[in-house]
Amino acid sequence: MTDVTASPIAGSSPEDRPMITISHLSKSFGETQVLKDINLTVHKSEVVCLIGPSGSGKSTLLRCLNFLESYEAGEVRMEGRLVGYTEGFPRRKMKNRELRALRREVGMVFQHFNLWPHMTAMENVREALVQVKGLPLEEATAKAEAMLTRVGLADRMHAHPSRLSGGQQQRVAIARVVAMEPHVILFDEPTSALDPELVGEVLQVMKDLAADGMTMVVVTHEMGFAANVADRVAFLDGGHIVEDGPPRQVFHESSEPRVRQFLQTYHERNSF
């Protein structure tokens, strides 16, 4: 069902070059192989949701995209650039400096927010602008404030994370990433640690980002979000992508028994 070939740079102009190309990606932790020959392409401004049972390799796949996890076989390319390794064979780890340059363009939002507790919301957003982008403090502050305003936290800017609700913390984390003006944002279950009543505010921020044309890869259990916002849904099971297509196709027309089984369990759990 994958519509992908291994061609690293499809098309010649940067405009139609895919944002992310994953080809024949495999990854093991010691003896256990957790990703098996993954192929997936994400185009500019596309929102792709990754769904699948626990332990299927969703987080690992996402973490390979910014090389928080290394991979042994296959390729991940961001806008044509090989992630984590130098071109050529035998391949060698990319220089740290290059990896950092690449990571600046790939944002990541985590399940547990990972805000820095010794800084206020504003300082959390400002920090990377100063440390990584090298913006002058004033400019970085103004930008951080604008970002927090954009996610609806203008009045909570000077609060420390411990004084914010989970939903507010996750919005700060998103602002922190968006402020860096990444080309892609990776989300790993951004609402899974939230109380149900706080999920909506975070999903709304994500919807706004998608509407602004942000390229997003989202691991989620929010099937509503996947159905309404995603351009494509990929279903992972046991380290394989077993289904990949538009939400309607994956949710309603899949003949893959594992997908049907998963969705059925999901529906049963979510109906009274």
Partner 1 sequence: MNWDVVTRNLPYLLEGTVMTIAVSLAGILVGQVLGAFICVGRISGGRVGETLGAVYVSFFRGVPLLIQLLLIYYMLPLVGIDVPPLVAAVGALGLASSAYVSEIYRGSLLAIPHGHGEAALALGFSEGSIWRRILLPQAFRLSVPALVNELILLLKASSLISVVGVAELTRVSQSVASSTYRPLEAYMAAGAIYLIINGALALLGVLVERRLARS
Ligand X SMILES: Nc1ncnc2c1ncn2[C@@H]1O[C@H](COP(=O)(O)OP(=O)(O)OP(=O)(O)O)[C@@H](O)[C@H]1O
Contact call for residue 37 and partner 1 (CB under 8 A): no
Residue 39 or 220: the one with the smaller Cβ distance to ligand X is: 220
| 3, 29, 181, 270: residue in contact with ligand X (rule CB under 6 A) | 29
Contacts (CB under 8 A) with partner 1, residues 124-153: 127-128, 131-132
Helices (H), the chain: 58-65, 96-104, 121-131, 137-150, 166-178, 196-211, 223-229, 247-248, 257-270
Cα–Cα distance for residue pair 16/11, rounded to 1 Å: 6
Residue 127: CB minimum distance to partner 1, A = 6
Collapsed DSSP state (helix, strand, coil) of residue 137: helix
Residue 267: CB minimum distance to Mg ion, A = 21
| 30, 117, 134, 196: residue in contact with partner 1 (rule CB under 8 A) | 117
| 56, 124, 169, 254: residue in contact with ligand X (rule CB under 6 A) | 56
Contact call for residue 59 and ligand X (CB under 6 A): yes
Contact call for residue 27 and ligand X (CB under 6 A): no
Element (H, E) at 21: strand 20-29
Q: Backbone phi, then psi, for 182, in 5-degree steps?
A: -75, 160
* Residue 45 · residue 32 · CB < 8 Å: no
Contacts (CB under 8 A) with partner 1, residues 153-212: 160, 173, 176-177, 180
Nearest to 77 by CA among 40, 37, 29: 40
| 34, 102, 108, 147: residue in contact with ligand X (rule CB under 6 A) | 34
CB atoms closer than 10 angstroms to residue 29: 10
Residue 162 or 271: the one with the smaller Cβ distance to partner 1 is: 162
Dihedral Cα 260, 265, 271, 272, nearest 10 deg:
140
- Tell me the two tokens of residue 192: 């899974």
- Amino acid in the structure at residue 74: G
Residue 157: CB minimum distance to ligand X, A = 31
Q: Backbone phi, then psi, for 42, in 5-degree steps?
A: -120, 125
Q: Which does 177 bind (CB under 5 to 8 A by kind): Mg ion, partner 1, ligand X, none?
A: partner 1
In this chain, which stretch among 32-40, 123-131, 194-202, 235-243 interacts with partner 1, using CB under 8 A? 123-131
Query: Which stretches of the chain bind ligand X, using CB under 6 A?
Result: 29, 34, 52, 54-60
Query: Which stretches of the chain bind partner 1, using CB under 8 A?
Result: 66, 68, 96, 100-101, 103-104, 106-108, 110, 112, 114-118, 127-128, 131-132, 160, 173, 176-177, 180
